[in-house]
Amino acid sequence: MATPTLKTISKATGFSVTTVSRALGGYDDVNEETRRAILDEARKQGYTPNLNARLLQKQRTQTIGLIMPATSPRLTDPFFNEFVAGIGSGAATAGYDLLLSTDMTDTTEMETYRRLVSRGRVDGMVLVRTRHNDPRIAYLLHTKLPFVVFGRTDAAHNFTYIDMDGVAAQRLLTQHFIEYGHRRIAYAAPPPHLMFADYRIQGYRAALEAHHLPFDADLLIAGALTERSGREIAHQLLSLAQPPTAIMTGNDLMAFGVMRTIQERGLRVGDDIAVGGFDDIPTAEHIHPGLTTIHQPIYATGQRLVTLLVQMMNGDASPPRAILLEPELIIRASSGSQRA
């Protein structure tokens, strides 16, 4: 049995392919009786339109692209879990599909982008984890493909994005530790090529300055956004002649590593060394002790981004929007108690 197509229905009913198409498409220039006959036959054959053909004709794909940064062999960061879920949910309610790509190891990231974007695979893209002079943004800007971004970049902001206010966030967290009586607050910072590292560090230094605390370069160490990196940095920091009494990190995963190292060295997280993370992934609440961190509405942000993207894909030509998220500080036991 041949796959049902417009042609097979056309043959079966005696109407032309055009009429079948228009009947199925709900146009009003087809007789009710005819339409019924065609719909019946379509149902009988189990017809469903061939997406590729339709999209080739319409030059649209009803698909949104998302490329996962190839940080590790397995993207173990729950951040992405939530983010993808948000995007997926937003896409689904808007009637779009989500095309998920992970960078292949043997090809460059830009190739992956080109492959997807190259006329036809997706109607729009979602970007995450912006970098300095992000080549992906330059490329997408150049191709005119609609896209939205979680994060900013340093160049002109002529694109739509949502970003956490990293300056305010890190300042908030640093202040919190200062108010808890800490003087030596270390920062296991995100890798410097990531755009948000800059903002976070700015916030860190601003809080120190505001409270007339000296900036100690020994206490600022950049690492990767992994638990392992957190462990390594903690070792370095705790081996200092004057170790810090509080350690903040680029994300919760790093914070977990820091906590583990502290505990392995026989110290207590909170009472001996306070720890602060970033993201508020689910585990942050469950780990012991609970992790003080900055809450990011990751899921909701994913949804919002898709909403914005869908507007753009539907031809809304309003100027790009820039949305800055206000940080929310979540205080848990890893802060320890207020000091003298």
Partner DNA sequence: ACTATATCCCGAAACGTTTTGGAAAGTCAA
Partner DNA sequence: TTGACTTTCCAAAACGTTTCGGGATATAGT
How many CB atoms are closer than 10 A to CB 14?
10
Distances (CA, A) of 316 to 146, 308, 310: 10, 10, 9
Closest CA to 326 of 172, 197, 205: 172
Pair 69, 77: CB distance under 8 Å: no
Query: Closer CB to a copy of itself, residue 55 or residue 324?
Result: 55
Query: Closer CB to a copy of itself, residue 34 or residue 101?
Result: 101
Residue 337 contact, options a copy of itself, DNA, none, Cβ 5-8 Å cut-off depending on partner type: none
Residue 200 contact, options DNA, a copy of itself, none, Cβ 5-8 Å cut-off depending on partner type: none
Residue 41 CB, nearest approach to DNA (Å): 13
Using CB under 8 A as the binding rule, whether residue 277 contacts a copy of itself is answered as no
Torsion of CA 184, 188, 193, 195, to 10 degrees: -70
How far apart CA 117 and CA 123 sit, in angstroms, is 8
Residue 93 CB, nearest approach to a copy of itself (Å): 6
* DSSP, residue by residue, 45-93: HT----HHHHHHHHT---EEEEEE---SSS---HHHHHHHHHHHHHHHH
Query: 321: helix, coil or strand?
Result: coil
Using CB under 8 A as the binding rule, whether residue 97 contacts a copy of itself is answered as yes
Residue 3 CB, nearest approach to a copy of itself (Å): 5
Residues 294-313 vs a copy of itself: string with x where CB under 8 A? -----x--------------
Closest CA to 258 of 249, 268, 245: 249
As a whole number of Å, the end-to-end CA separation of the chain is: 82
Q: Pick from 36, 44, 54, 268: which binds DNA (CB under 7 A)?
A: 54
Stretch that binds DNA, among 29-37, 134-142, 182-190, 252-260 (CB under 7 A): 29-37
How far apart CA 289 and CA 259 sit, in angstroms, is 9
Query: Closer CB to a copy of itself, residue 201 or residue 291?
Result: 291
Stretch that binds a copy of itself, among 7-15, 52-60, 207-215, 241-249 (CB under 8 A): 52-60
Give me 134's structure tokens: 């992000």
Residue 73 contact, options DNA, a copy of itself, none, Cβ 5-8 Å cut-off depending on partner type: a copy of itself
Which stretches of 97-194 are DSSP H helices? Answer: 109-117, 135-143, 166-179
- Alpha carbon 2 to chain centroid, angstroms: 43
Using CB under 8 A as the binding rule, whether residue 155 contacts a copy of itself is answered as no
Using CB under 7 A as the binding rule, whether residue 49 contacts DNA is answered as yes
Q: Which of residues 210-269 bind a copy of itself (CB under 8 A)?
A: 256
Using CB under 8 A as the binding rule, whether residue 337 contacts a copy of itself is answered as no
* DSSP, residue by residue, 202-258: HHHHHHHHHTTPPP-GGGEEE--SSHHHHHHHHHHHHTSSS--SEEEESSHHHHHHH
Using CB under 7 A as the binding rule, whether residue 59 contacts DNA is answered as yes
Using CB under 8 A as the binding rule, whether residue 31 contacts a copy of itself is answered as no
Residues 93-122 vs DNA: string with x where CB under 7 A? --------------------------x---
Residue 150 contact, options a copy of itself, DNA, none, Cβ 5-8 Å cut-off depending on partner type: none
**Binding site residues, a copy of itself, CB under 8 A:** 3-4, 48-53, 55-56, 61, 63, 68, 73-76, 78, 80-82, 84-86, 88-89, 91-93, 97-105, 114-116, 118-121, 256, 282-283, 286-289, 299
**Binding site residues, DNA, CB under 7 A:** 3, 5-7, 14-19, 21-22, 24-25, 29-32, 34-35, 47, 49-50, 53-54, 56-59, 119
